[in-house]
């Protein structure tokens, strides 16, 4: 079996060394866009150009080196190729940590102390109980579940929303369009961990935001296109939404003249909420390559119709 590594801006050696060590019978190599085809069966990819599929028509499986596949599905990938994504692979814990940080920053007034430090001002805040911060997690997949569980373990009142009904201990769960209004009506801190699909694009809009509890806060770690940015600004203008913690944006990098940069109620990070971790990712891909060699079902295969 021949497997290509097609992640252009990543140093390939540490990946190849670990992959060859784990699977010595597989021929791993780095994709060379100007070289001859190698007759690859599979490829590890991140945002691959169309040229990869034209050059390697024998490809049967691609392993996306991330959890989100929206950019990949927007590429014209031949229908016969199976797309496999990373499932958690160390990202869920990072995302849970990010969400806990963003929530604690508000609920424990760390944002207030940050501002006070600039003026050498020693002033304890009055504080609010955890019950004042009911959380709603959009998406209860590999990552969203851990976000919800972690915040519930910290004592927050957590509910979650998914496409199909899910049962999670300690989490109030909601599913589909029918339960959307009930979910929103009990949420003050809305955390988006949904994949970007036709159904989730522009989901967090004026209508959605206006149904949240007053003084709402939006944490977006899913994809930028799920949030209608102008609607967030207008809801903040009206005071219904108090602020946002945003890791993903409709345009990345976020343009220097974007109004988000100048709004102190918005906390910005540059799409780093959960990074691809090499060791964990390799372990998952090695397991799947072994399954492929044995002719077994692969884990994390993307349903192209569903879009995730
Ligand atoms: N910012 C970052 O650094 C970063 C890093 C990694 C991932 N991400 C983002 O996080 C996303 C989620 O990753 P994951 O691994 O948790 O995905 P996942 O395991 O595929 O889970 C997706 C969840 O979203 C739900 N969902 C999808 N479409 C829906 C819809 N139309 N209505 C309601 N719920 C819907 C699914 O519902 P069901 O349970 O019913 O299927 C599932 O619970 C990725 O797609 C990516 O965009 C961001």
Where does the pLDDT of residue 118 fall: very low under 50, low under 70, confident under 90, or very high at 90 and above? very high
223 is catalytic: yes
Residue 141: the pLDDT is 98
Distance 192 CA to ligand 1 centre (A): 9
Angle at 147 between CA 141 and CA 152, to 5 degrees: 120
pLDDT digits (tens, 9 = 90+) for 152-165: 999 999 999 999 99
Rounded alpha-carbon distances, angstroms, from residue 304 to 6, 36, 232: 21, 30, 30
CA distance 12 to 288: 20
- Residue 271 known to be catalytic: yes
| Residue with CA nearest ligand 1 atom 9 | 222
Q: Which 3 state secondary structure label does DSSP give 250?
A: coil
Q: Which residues contact 48 (CB under 8 A, 6 or more apart)?
A: 6, 62, 72, 75
User: How far is Cα 147 from Cα 174, in angstroms, rounded to an integer?
Assistant: 16
Q: Mean pLDDT throughout 35-41?
A: 97
pLDDT tens figures, 58-80: 999 999 999 999 999 999 899 99
Cβ(139) – ligand 1 distance below 6 Å: yes
Helices 91-107 and 110-117: crossing angle in degrees, nearest 10, is: 70
Instruction: Give me the mean pLDDT over the 182-201 stretch.
Output: 98
d(CA 170, CA 157): 9
Q: What's the confidence (pLDDT) of residue 161? A: 98
- Residue 123 is given by DSSP the state -
Q: What are the tens digits of pLDDT across the range 196-226?
A: 999 999 999 999 999 999 999 999 999 999 9
Could you tell me which residues are beta bridge partners of residue 267? Answer: 245
Closest CA to 250 of 233, 236, 264: 233
Q: Is 241 in the pocket of ligand 1 (CB under 6 A)?
A: no
Question: Which of these is catalytic: 108, 240, 271, 278?
Answer: 271
168: number of CA atoms within 13 Å, CB side? 28
Query: Ligand 1 centre from 267 Cα, in Å?
Result: 22
| Element of type H or E holding 140 | none
- Please state the atom number of ligand 1 nearest to the C-alpha of residue 164: 40
Average pLDDT of the chain is: 97
């Amino acid at each position: 079996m021949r497997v290509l590594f097609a992640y252009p801006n990543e140093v390939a050696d540490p990946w190849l060394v670990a992959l060859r060590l784990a699977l010595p019978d597989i021929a791993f190599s780095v994709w060379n866009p100007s070289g001859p085809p190698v007759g690859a069966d599979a490829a590890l990819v991140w945002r691959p150009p169309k040229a990869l599929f034209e050059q390697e028509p024998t490809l049967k499986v691609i392993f996306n080196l991330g959890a989100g596949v929206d950019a990949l599905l927007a590429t014209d990938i031949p229908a016969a190729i199976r797309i496999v994504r990373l499932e958690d692979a160390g990202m869920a814990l990072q995302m849970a940590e990010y969400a806990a940080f963003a929530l604690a920053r508000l609920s424990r007034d760390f944002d207030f102390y940050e501002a006070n430090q600039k003026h050498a001002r020693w002033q304890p805040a009055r504080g609010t109980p955890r019950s004042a911060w009911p959380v709603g997690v959009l998406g209860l997949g590999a990552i969203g579940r851990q976000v919800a569980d972690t915040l519930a373990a910290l004592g927050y009142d957590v509910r979650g929303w998914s496409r199909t009904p899910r049962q999670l201990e300690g989490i109030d769960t909601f599913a589909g369009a029918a339960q959307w209004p009930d979910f929103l009506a009990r949420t003050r801190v809305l955390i988006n961990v949904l994949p970007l699909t036709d159904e989730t694009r522009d989901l967090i809009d004026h209508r959605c935001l206006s149904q949240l509890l007053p003084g709402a806060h939006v944490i977006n770690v899913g994809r930028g296109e799920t949030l209608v940015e102008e609607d967030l600004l207008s809801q903040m203008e009206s005071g219904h939404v108090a602020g946002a913690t945003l890791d993903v944006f409709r345009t990345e990098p976020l343009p220097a003249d974007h109004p988000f940069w100048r709004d102190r109620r918005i906390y910005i990070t540059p799409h780093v909420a959960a990074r691809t971790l090499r060791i964990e990712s390799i372990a998952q891909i090695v397991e799947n390559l072994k399954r492929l060699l044995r002719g077994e079902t692969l884990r994390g295969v993307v349903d192209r119709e569903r879009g995730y």
